[in-house]
Amino acid sequence: MKKCLHIFLFFIVFPTILNAQYKQRNSFKNKRHEVNFGLGFSNCLTDVGGNRNKASINIKKTNFTANFSHLYQIQNKIAFRTSLTYAKVSGDDSYSSVYSKKNKALNFNTTISELSGILEFTITTLKNKNTYKSKNKRRKNIANKDRLGFGSYIFVGLGSFYYNPMGINKFLDSEGNNVGDGQKYSLRELHTEGQGFVGGPEQFSKQATGKKYSTYNDFAICVPIGFGIKKPFHSNGGIKLEASYRFTNTDYLDDVSSKYYDREKLRIEMNQAFNEELAQSAYIMSGTSTGSVNLTNTEPAEARGEKKGNDSYIFLTLSVYKTITNKSYKDK
């Protein structure tokens, strides 16, 4: 009799358990697609601004970011996300408490348009094992339901972004008076560190690039990493809070990387290579001391930026998400 009972349990109960586990493992197939829209804050770690000689975050220069993404669930705990992000980052030496930085009066701001592909790995799933009693209007128990708890995940990816650093002329004289006219300039085209000219950064020389008057590109590569938590409001949607860090392959997000270039020489060379208007703008925005603007630590060949390490930027985003049910999928 006991043997028959064991056989019954094996053929009836065991397949039921296996079927339940199969459905749980493959439940993601019913909701493979997810769309997200988020808003949040952005900041950066560059050579401009901050309160140390090294790159550091300046809270006062926190900006905004907006994001749209589509997520495809590959496996139960692995997903691929295509993400489009628009953000603004900026830095300003006038906010720094370090005298050598404040004295340079360098500043920048740029928008970032980023397209990235991201792998997302689930750490904890959305539902926990706690249950609660669902009650009717008469306060009678109807059924047990799972509580919708918090989920968490980490991610890593690869992307590309467009940037165009701009700067405002607000330089100081030797007595600390503002002698800038407040005009805004596009910095890349001004070759502010002598990019592409003799004596400028080696990576932009004609020998290195094969081109005359080369400067840094409009596009750069980024590597997003980060983590997030998600809270569903119901089975098909909820909110996410996500923190991410972007490594980049450029040190010119802020137009500052190497050494000061002699701005009188820069004006002559820019005039010969381009035109007088760009030459005058480069003369102003290079920030190199000469003539009436006699700033300390800004002489030609002195450090304008920190050559070690590239620039980076960070996001903190709150987003809403919506999963799309696959009506054609049926549990087997």
pLDDT value at residue 58 = 77
* Number of compact structural domains in the chain: 1
**Mean pLDDT, the chain, whole residue set:** 82
> DSSP 3-state assignment of 191?
coil
And the tokens for 44?
């950066």
**Cα–Cα distance, 310 to 224 (Å, whole number):** 14
Closest CA to 28 of 127, 97, 159, 96: 127
User: Region 274-298: what's the mean pLDDT?
Assistant: 74
Q: What is the pLDDT of residues 235-277, one digit of tens each?
A: 788 999 999 999 999 999 999 999 999 989 999 999 999 999 9
- Asked if the structure places residue 18 within a domain, the reply is no
- Asked if the structure places residue 19 within a domain, the reply is no
**Cα–Cα distance, 170 to 177 (Å, whole number):** 10
- For 121, other C-beta atoms within 10 Å of its C-beta total 14
pLDDT value at residue 307 = 75
- Asked if the structure places residue 247 within a domain, the reply is yes
- Asked if the structure places residue 329 within a domain, the reply is no
- Asked if the structure places residue 22 within a domain, the reply is no
Q: What is the pLDDT of residues 153-204, one digit of tens each?
A: 999 999 999 999 999 987 766 566 666 778 899 999 999 999 999 999 999 9
Strand blocks (E) in the chain? 33-45, 63-75, 78-92, 107-124, 127-135, 141-148, 151-163, 166-168, 184-186, 219-234, 237-248, 312-324
103 strand-pairing partners: none
Q: What is the CATH number of the domain that holds 93?
A: 2.40.160.20
pTM of the model: 0.81
- pLDDT(294) > 80: no
- pLDDT(57) > 60: yes
- Asked if the structure places residue 216 within a domain, the reply is yes
User: Region 42-64: what's the mean pLDDT?
Assistant: 80
Residue 164, Cβ density class (10 Å: 0-12 exposed, 13-18 middle, ≥19 buried)? middle
**142 confidence band (pLDDT: 50, 70, 90):** very low
Q: What domain range includes position 177? A: 32-324
- pLDDT(66) > 60: yes
Following DSSP, what letter does each residue of 255-301 receive, concatenated?
A: S--SB---HHHHHHHHHHHS-HHHHHHHHHHT---BTTB--TT-STT
**128 confidence band (pLDDT: 50, 70, 90):** very low
**Cα–Cα distance, 160 to 244 (Å, whole number):** 15
Closest CA to 286 of 268, 262, 305: 262
**Cα–Cα distance, 298 to 133 (Å, whole number):** 71
- Among 15-24, 28-37, 135-144, 274-283, top mean pLDDT goes to 274-283
CA angle (73, 77, 81) in 5-degree steps: 40
And the tokens for 228?
């997030």
User: Region 127-142: what's the mean pLDDT?
Assistant: 52
Closest CA to 109 of 186, 15, 34: 186
Between strands 127-135 and 312-324, the pairing is unpaired
And the tokens for 220?
């750069």
- Give 302's DSSP letter: S
- Asked if the structure places residue 130 within a domain, the reply is yes
- Asked if the structure places residue 25 within a domain, the reply is no
User: Region 300-322: what's the mean pLDDT?
Assistant: 90
Higher pLDDT, 55 or 41: 41
CB-based contacts of 193: which residues, under 8 Å, 6+ apart?
200, 201, 256, 257, 258, 259, 260, 261, 286, 304
- Give 178's DSSP letter: B
